Structures are given as C-alpha cells and as structure tokens.
Amino acid sequence: MTTLNATILGGGSWGTALAAQLARQGHATVIWDRHPDRCAFLNEHHQNPRYLKGEPLPPTLRATPSLEEAVQHADLIVPVVPSHALREVLQRAAPFVRSDATFSCATKGIEEGSLDTMYTVMQAALPDAFADRIAMLYGPSFALEVTRGLPTAIVCAGPDGPAHAAADAFHGGGFRVYHTDDVVGVCIGGSLKNVMAIACGVSDGLGLGNNARAGIITRGLAEITRLATAMGAHPLTMMGLAGMGDLVLTCSSDLSRNRRVGLALGQGRTLDDILGELGEVAEGVITAKTAWELSARVGVEMPITEQIFALLYQDKSATNAIRDLLGRERRPERDDA
C-alpha cells in the first residue's frame, strides 16, 4: 500500500473518525479545523475536545487551523464539512491544492438553492482540472464505532481513478471499502436516509411501535429509489451500502443524530431546543427541505419527505404528519405495477 499525505477538511465527529482510520493505515494525516484551540488540544492530547470526547486518537494524527497548510502537500483531500459550507471551503482551498491531488468527499446532503448533490457541488467549486479526480465516500458508519476500530463497510463512488485511490487509502483493519461508478445513486441514497431517520424517530417518539418503523424504512427506501432512478441512478445501488445499508443503520440506532431529532419532535419538543442541545449538524433537517424541492423539480412523489418537510418548516404537528401518511390512498407496492 502506498503511504499518502492525507487531509481531512472538517474536525467534527465524522471527519475525526475518518482521519483516525487513515492514520491507522499509516498515512500522514492532518485535520483542518477552523478553531485553533481545538487543533492545539488534539495535537497535545490526541483527543477531539468537543466531538468524540475521551476517545483516544492515533498519536501521529495532527490538526491545523490553516487551510493552506492543510492542503498544500496533500495527495488525498477528504471534505467532511456540513453541506452548506462545502462550496465555500473548497473555493478557499482550491488555490493551494496540488494539481495531482485526489478528492474523496464524505459530506452528505443536497445543497440549498442549487439543489445540487455534493458531487455536483465539488465539480462546480473546484477548477475543471479536478473534474475527474473526485469520488464520494458514503455508507452505514457511525463515527464513534469507526474511531474505536469496529468493523465497518462503506462504498466509494466515482470514476475508477479517484474511487480506487480513495478506497485503497481507507481500506484495512476491519474497515472495508467497496467501489461503484454510480455517483448519483450513492449521493441520493446517502443523503435522503437522514430524512427517513427523522421520520422513524418521530414515529418512535409517538410510541407507534416496531411495525411502523419497519414500514417507514421500507417505504422510505421506495421513495429514495424513485428519486434516484429518475435522476439516472442504477436501482440496485439502493440495495447496497449507501442505500439500504445506510438507511437501516440511521433509522434504527440512537447513535443517529437525525433519528434523535425525530424522536424529540415526536415527544413534543421544539426544533430549536433539539438542535441547541444536539450541538452538531443534523443534515436531515436541511435535506428535508432540499429533497422536497428536488422531488418537485424532478416530478417524483415522496410522501414521507413531504410530511417531514411540513413538520420541520410549516409548523405541522407530528401527530398530523403521521395521520396524513396513514390516510393516503391504497396503491401498488411496486411503482411499475
């Protein structure tokens, strides 16, 4: 395996976990974090003082608040910033990036305004020379478990060159990385699962039981597949790691921030209070809006997404959102029936 200079853009929990995995694979790995005090703490104590607190990190891992320093020598750059910040961070970093660097983006979501996937944002924000040097790293993975080195399987999507380069860099030690060329399917599946996790949390918060959660997961997968295939994705991608795999994980575990948001909404708490207590970005809150807008643009029916959008942005109650979902007209299970 070739040893790389690797840079993670973003010092949140997922960025820290991916940095730990790269460092364990022997790569010289740097985290870029806007906050100098967090960088200093990580460099001295080998822990992230805000995210994954108390979890030991590889001693070779270091952090810097300088974007230029972070990217100027990097062979592999892994953006893991929130979706609303991705374009701006990449535009700032671009002047300092080596011309032969590869990007592997782990940010999930649909951008507000443009309704672009993160792959499209990457292509637009970076110089044209990097258009064929971008891959996406998605799949069922909680940061805490990756940091602890527990077995994980994810997928890297993109052209063969960057997809294989990034997959090779991360793969090892129980962290399995598969590859695919279906960027659209991976981006849509990995982003919209967060909306379905909110829906499952709402259902559980209302005490609707395991049957209801299973129904939301299954029908959620159906509407994610409907949108993804309408945008050109391969339907079998939705049966894979960035589809069913990520969906089941995020909808079923309290380690999921998005599920916890839905759970609290179902219990009657306000969104502002929930997000204030969470202390991290829950991408499903933004994606509920952008996915709803994208479904209207593409002309695809997405009833669960529509109700979560109404709950988050139109003051609809959790009880009424579930009532309207259950009250829909009976229909065939398969869209082609």
Q: Inform me whether the pLDDT recorded for 335 exceeds 70.
A: yes
Q: How many CB atoms are closer than 10 A to CB 165?
A: 20
Assigned fold of 5-181: Rossmann fold (3.40.50)
Minimal CA–CA distance to 147: which of 257, 15, 263?
A: 15
Instruction: Give the pLDDT band (50/70/90) at residue 33.
Output: very high
Query: Is the pLDDT score of 213 beyond 80?
Result: yes
pLDDT at 25 over 60: yes
Which amino acid belongs to residue 330?
Answer: R
53 is catalytic: no
**pLDDT tens digits, 80-123:** 999 999 999 999 999 999 999 999 999 999 999 999 999 999 99
Q: How confident is the model at residue 337 (pLDDT cuts 50, 70, 90)?
A: low
pLDDT of residue 52: 92
Checking if the pLDDT of 336 tops 80, the result is no
Give yes or no for residue 210 having a pLDDT over 90: yes
User: If you compute the radius of gyration of the chain from its CA atoms, what whole number of angstroms results?
Assistant: 19
Look over the chain and give the mean of its residue pLDDT values, rounded to a whole number.
95
Handedness of CA 269, 271, 276, 280 (dihedral sign): positive
Closest by CA to 79, choosing from 201, 162, 173, is: 162
* pTM of the model as a whole: 0.95
Q: Which pLDDT value is given to residue 1?
A: 65
What percentage of the chain exceeds 90 in pLDDT? Answer: 91
What is the pLDDT averaged over residues 301-318? 96
Q: Please write the tens of the pLDDT for every residue from 216-234.
A: 999 999 999 999 999 999 9
CATH superfamily of 191-326: N-(1-d-carboxylethyl)-l-norvaline Dehydrogenase; domain 2 (1.10.1040.10)
Q: How large a percentage of the chain has pLDDT more than 70?
A: 99
Q: What pLDDT, on the 0 to 100 scale, is given for residue 9?
A: 98
Sign of CA dihedral 67, 70, 71, 72: positive
Higher-confidence position of 249 and 336: 249
Domain residue limits, the chain: 5-181, 191-326
pLDDT at 27 over 90: yes
Which one-letter amino acid corresponds to residue 113? G
Amino acid symbol at 313: Y
Q: List, as one string, the DSSP characters of 81-126.
A: S-GGGHHHHHHHHGGGS-TT-EEEE---SB-TTT--BHHHHHHHHS
108, 193, 289, 316: the active-site residue? 193
Q: Poorest-confidence range of 179-193, 201-215, 271-285?
A: 271-285
pLDDT value, residue 284: 92
In the chain, beta strands by DSSP E? 5-9, 28-32, 62-64, 76-79, 102-105, 134-138, 152-157, 175-180
For the chain, how are helix, strand and coil distributed in percent, rounded to 5? 55, 10, 35
Compute the half-sphere exposure of residue 60: CA atoms within 13 Å on the CB side of its CA. 14
Ordered alpha helix ranges (H), 206-256? 210-230, 246-252
Residue 38 clears pLDDT 60, i.e. is over it:
yes
Q: Averaged over 157-167, what is the pLDDT?
A: 96
Which pLDDT score is estimated for 205?
96
Write out the two tokens for 170.
Answer: 């991360």
Decide which of 72 and 333 is more confident: 72
For 252-259, what is the mean pLDDT? 93
